[in-house]
Structure 1
Amino acid sequence: MRLPSIPTFCCLVVIAVGSFHTAFAQTAPAQGSTDAPKPKYVSQPAKADVILPNATITVDYSAPSAHGRTVFGGLVPYGEVWRTGANAATTLKTTGTLQIGGLTLPTGTYTLYSLPSQDGWKLVVNKQTGQWGTVYDKSQDLGRVAMETGSNSMPVETFVIDFEKTVGQTTELHLKWAGVDASVQITAQK
């Protein structure tokens, strides 16, 4: 058996070592590295906004998907406060004073939760902001408002918050997922 020449052997060793190093360098960041990859959330960030004559309203949330699961009464239990999305808490920011149902909402930023039940839904407006979505402090509630519930013509796979029927100072906030469309009227005060 003939052995490879020294230059050929050295070349093969360099290629093998380089391949080995590259494979491991891509799979694990160096210990203590600040360049570690950030976690990838399954539920993607989303935004809904509307401009009314006396207020701009922006809702920032993360949109979970059903993935074949039973959503309401399953993944989201009835009778328990729900984060109204996924990941970080869902926020509503308004540049003007709003009337949501019977609740007055001054200019500012709030967290939105909801309370789904088989008999109806409530929108929960909370003064605490910046927390993870599952951190709920009832003592920080500004108030709770009854929502109208309807059904979607087709099941909605990925949770959606949007504004509809915007006319003048008034709009409707809609929460849509699976077969449910829960909504509440919002009016910007003059």
Structure 2
Amino acid sequence: MKSIVLGLALLFTAGAAFSQQTPAAAPAAAAKAPQSPRVTASGENVEIAYGQPSKRGRQIFPGLLPFGEIWRTGANKSTDITFKKDATFGGKKVKAGTYALFTIPGEKEFTVILNSVTNQPGSADYEKNKDKNVVEVKAPRQKTAATVEKLTFSFPKGAMVFEWDDTRVSVPLKF
């Protein structure tokens, strides 16, 4: 009798250990691409929130992001920029508020767009909302001195700048 009880105890212990080590057949997270971190950058009277993708050895412009096609200028959902005061963005007046920022990459210049519909899930939704564009400006595409691994926004005095891979785009910004 003692050996039967001991045998059953070992069987239950082994079964419990096995069930704890066996991963779920298809965990929900395994079906999703990794999310780029959401970060913010601030300058005088302006703040931007964006998903920060990494280069990870890929060719970005053109390649991952073809020339002439709309880009949400970040990852996961639209990049949203908040102006705390009325501003001049690329020489055009913009009221204080929050806007989705999109770009159309080009070989020599980018079209930078502010759209009044924020928190868009991606470029496909932009097509439904492009009539809500507030501003479209052209900005030259410049080469960076070194490769920039992660998409990065900054606000040096008088500009909004973003850099990624070998590309730098600067839009004049005044308050």
Q: CA distance change for structure 1 residues 107 and 78 in 2, over 3 Å: closer, same or farther? A: same
CA deviations on 1:81-132 (whole Å, 9 max, x unpaired) are: 1110111110001221111022211111100001111121121111111220
Is the CA contact (8 Å cut-off) linking 2:94 and 2:135 kept in structure 1?
A: no
Select the structure that is richer in helix: 2
Alignment partner for residue 77 of structure 2, among 78, 85, 88?
Answer: 88
Is the CA contact (8 Å cut-off) linking 1:110 and 1:128 kept in structure 2?
A: yes
In the TM superposition, structure 1's runs of 4+ consecutive aligned residues that sit over 3 Å from their partners are 36-42
1:144 aligns with 2:136: yes
Alignment partner for residue 145 of structure 2, among 145, 153, 166?
Answer: 153
- Normalised to the residue count of structure 2, the TM-score between the two structures is 0.87
Q: Give the secondary structure class of the aligned counterpart of 2:75.
A: coil
**How many angstroms apart in 2 are the aligned matches of 1:19 and 1:12?**
10
CA radius of gyration, larger in: 1
**Paired positions, count:** 171
Q: Indicate the residue corresponding to 2:68 in structure 1.
A: 79
- Consecutive unaligned residues of structure 1, counting only runs of 5 or more, are 31-35
Q: Indicate the residue corresponding to 1:33 in structure 2.
A: none
**How many angstroms apart in 1 are the aligned matches of 2:11 and 2:85?**
69
Q: Where do 1:25-174 residues align within 5 Å?
A: 27=24, 41-50=34-43, 52=44, 56-134=45-123, 135-136=125-126, 137-164=129-156, 166=157, 171-174=158-161
Is the CA contact (8 Å cut-off) linking 1:127 and 1:142 kept in structure 2?
A: yes
- Consecutive unaligned residues of structure 2, counting only runs of 5 or more, are none
**How many angstroms apart in 2 are the aligned matches of 1:74 and 1:29?**
31
Q: Indicate the residue corresponding to 1:17 in structure 2.
A: 15
- Normalised to the residue count of structure 1, the TM-score between the two structures is 0.80
Q: CA distance change for structure 1 residues 151 and 29 in 2, over 3 Å: closer, same or farther? A: closer
Shift in Å, 1:43: 1.7
C-alpha RMSD of the superposition: 2.5
Sequence identity of aligned pairs in percent? 28
